[in-house]
Structure 1
Amino acid sequence: MEARKVQITGKSTYMITLPKKWAVDVGLQPGSLVSITHRDDGSLLLTPAKTQPFISRKTLKIDSDMCELKMDIIGAYVMGHQVIELNARRITPEIRKEVKELCKNLIGSEIVEETRSKMVIYDILNPGEFTIEKGLKRIYALVSGMLKDLIDVFDARIKEEMLSEIVGRDEEVDRVYLLILKLFLRRLKEGWVSKEDQLSLVEAFHFRLAADNLERIGDHTVKIANTLRSIDFDKDVPKDIIGRLVEVGKDLLDSIEQGVISLRSTDTKLASRVLRENARIKWKVLEISRLTIATPNALPLGIITDSISRIGDYTENIAELAIDLRQL
């Protein structure tokens, strides 16, 4: 860190000189424009108007563990590396196929170079086009749509097709979630904020945590869908229990919506209502669990009620984030 003295020119203008090496390195000339960004911690970020963007690169060595390679690629993506280079003596067709499939789940990632021993993944997404707030809206829309369709499954004729579609949509939830993590970490590391992003760093952190909870709600929605695929609930599950499950599902769907609204508007009264409603939902779930014990499908129904309870817990977390954020 370099310290500079503040000087006064005229009667009210404060001035400091810029480090010469930095000015030369970024190509500043007399009359050059420099953007000044006020950061949440009270510091200023100086950005030369015509500075070429820094391209972050990450090189990964391919070994026999494909699972580890996938995690490394996802980690490099989330950490904001624009170029990810994969190297090996020979990249097998199987590995190429796996990497290409993985890139489909990383928004903006494209393979731009391939040789016998190298693959290069490039991030073509302009981060200024997407914000954390937009990401939260998108992931909420996806998860609430999955849950709504899950409720509608009980009255549908083609149940297997609907359940398969719900499971498939979880991939899009994961794609948006990883992008939200990437945007937040970029802001945390570099202090970078797009012109469209109106969130403070603390607000961005709370929205990121809300995205965590919505992603987990999506996971449990998929778990319920997969469990329903394993049983014939029209024949083997009493209509009374199905009715109760549908009722609880609708209550949860409403609570999730109100929880997200309370966070985006920092409405503590609404958040408190969500918490109270969730307490009532938990009692309903306990009653369903008691009734399912004597049924032939007690085990899968137990898995379903457990996932419903966890969805309620994640909904509570979102409401509590709204209450915490209000204290700013």
Structure 2
Amino acid sequence: MEIRKVQVTGGSSYIITLPKEWTKSLNIKKNDQLGLITQPNGTLLVTTEITGRQVQITKEFDVDNTTEPTCIYRCLIGAYIAGYTIIKIKSAKKMPLFVRTNVREFTDVTIGQEVVEETDTSIIIKDLLNPVEMPFNNTIQRMYIIVKNMHEDAISALKNGNKMLAEDVISRDNDVDRLHWLIARQYNMILRNANLAENMGVTLGMATNYLLISRIVERIGDHAVIIAKNVLNLIDKDIDKKIIDTVISTGNFALQIFKKSMESFLKEDIKASNENIESVKKLAPLYEEINTLALPQKGIMVISVGYIIESIGRTGEYAGDLSEVVINYLIGGKN
């Protein structure tokens, strides 16, 4: 840390000199303008980014030595989440077909990514989304609605033996993933550009809690998919109706905990969050009852019921974790 003395000029203006090495590294010259942003902890951020425009950062991939199709796809997702705004893919020879296929899949599952230039040996992907147009709070609420409906429909598919509904639940997982990746991306972009946080109306602490909430909601979505996949194994099977009824009631109870967790977040209600955490304990006896009922079942039925009840349990536990994050967010992280 460099220590600088504050000087006063004209009787009212406070002046502090800038480190020489820092000004040289950013090519700052006389009469250049700098932005000053007051942080929630009282510190002052000095930045050269004063236009409010998105900072453009580029990531390049050379695919000449890449033979594994999934590798380039994972690298593209990694670059997207890291916050790169331009992704360049190049090859010394004609671009392999699997790379072009992976690029198409990548632009399909991400938000705002489009191919803006393409030749036989190169592809350039650019981010066309203004992060300010996708506020964290709106994205979280959209994730919640999708995941809540996934869970409700997975339980409904079990109740009514609806194969198409269970399969639809599984397909919706991609929508949850792309929203979670967007929040992770925006969080990393804020780490690089404090102006973006100000433009989005959030602090770093708020962005961190949004990321934590997003991750929990995404995991609850994953368990809705597990429930739906195992419901497919039980459709048209001769399974005890009492088991089905108990699984449905337990699933609905776990869903209520999830709903209340999100409501306490949206309403900023610490008391409700705390009560919700306590309600998670009530799930344990219900698991034991279902496990006892399922023991006489055979083969795939007992295994699938086990997976379903485990995922219902994880849904309730994650909902409790969500309430804990909400309390932390409201007490400290929000500021």
Report the alpha carbon displacement of residue 133 of structure 1 after superposing the two structures with TM.
Answer: 2.1
Equivalent pair of 1:28/1:48 in contact (CA under 8 Å): no
Give the superposition deviation at 1:251. Answer: 1.3
Tell me what 2:58 maps to.
57
Q: Residue 213 of structure 1 contacts residue 314 of structure 1 at CA under 8 Å; is this kept in 2?
A: yes
CA contact (8 A) 1:131 1:183 kept: no
Distance 1:46 1:196, change over 3 A: closer
TM-aligned CA distance change 1:45 to 1:129, over 3 Å: farther
The CA deviation string for residues 114-167 of structure 1, in whole angstroms up to 9 with x for no partner, is 21221111111111111222221121111111112122224547x121111111
Contact 2:87-2:126 within 8 A present in 1 as well: yes
How many Å separate the matches in 1 of 2:67 and 2:117? 21
Distance apart, 1:322 and its partner CA: 2.1
Q: 1:245 to 1:160 in 2, by over 3 A?
A: same
Q: How does 1:176-325 map to 2 (within 5 A)?
A: 176-195=179-198, 197-232=200-235, 235-296=237-298, 297-325=301-329
Instruction: Indicate the SS of the match to 1:230.
Output: helix
The question of 1:46 aligning with 2:47 is answered yes
Q: What is the CA distance between 1:326 and its match in structure 2?
A: 4.0
State the shift of 1:224 in Å.
Answer: 1.0
Tell me the secondary structure at the aligned position of residue 112 of structure 1: strand
User: 1:259 touches 1:274 (CA, 8 Å); kept in 2?
Assistant: yes
SS at structure 1 position matched to 2:94: coil
Distance 2:232 2:129 in 1: 37
Question: Alpha carbons of 1:300 and 1:307: their partners in 2 closer, same or farther (altered >3 Å)?
Answer: same
1:90 aligns with 2:91: no
TM-score (norm 2): 0.87
Name the CA shift for 1:323/1:48 in 2 (closer, same or farther; >3 Å): closer
Render the CA deviation track for 1:249-302: whole Å, top value 9, x for unaligned.
Answer: 221221112112323444332112112211112221221122111123111111
Residue type of the partner of 2:290?
A: I
Say if 1:12 and 1:165 are closer, same or farther in 2 by CA, change over 3 A: same
Given that residues 57 and 83 in structure 1 are in contact (C-alpha distance below 8 angstroms), is that contact kept between their aligned partners in structure 2?
yes
Find the aligned partners of 2:80 and 2:132 in 1 and give their Cα distance. 17
Structure 2 residue runs of 5 or longer lacking an equivalent are: none
Give ranges in structure 1 of 5+ residues lacking alignment. none
How far, CA to CA, are the matches of 1:2 and 1:121 in structure 2?
Answer: 40
Q: RMSD of the alignment, in Å?
A: 2.6
> What percent of counterpart residues are identical?
27
For the structure 1 residues 83 and 226, does the alpha-carbon distance in structure 2 shift closer, same or farther, using more than 3 Å as the test? Answer: same
Please point out which of 159, 167, 170 is paired with 1:167: 170
- Per the normalisation by structure 1, the TM-score is 0.88
CA-CA distance at 1:47 after TM superposition = 4.7
Distance (Å, rounded) in 1 between the aligned partners of 2:59 and 2:275: 47
2:95 aligned counterpart, secondary structure: coil
SS at match of 1:36: strand
Amino acid in structure 2 at the alignment position of 1:242? I
Say whether the 8 Å CA contact 1:131–1:196 is kept in structure 2: no
How many angstroms apart in 1 are the aligned matches of 2:24 and 2:39? 21
Equivalents in 1 of 2:264, 2:202: separation in Å? 15
Structure 2 CA distance for partners of 1:9 and 1:313, relative to 1, 3 Å: same
For residue 240 of structure 1, report the CA deviation from its aligned partner.
1.3
SS in 2 for 1:294: coil
Could you give the per-residue CA deviations for residues 86-127 of structure 1, whole angstroms, max 9, x where no partner exists? 122222223312220122111111111221221111111111
- Name the CA shift for 1:155/1:298 in 2 (closer, same or farther; >3 Å): closer
Query: 1:298/1:99 Cα in 2 relative to 1: closer, same or farther (>3 Å)?
Result: same
Whole-angstrom distance in 1 between the partners of 2:17 and 2:321: 48
Paired position in structure 1 for 2:139: 135
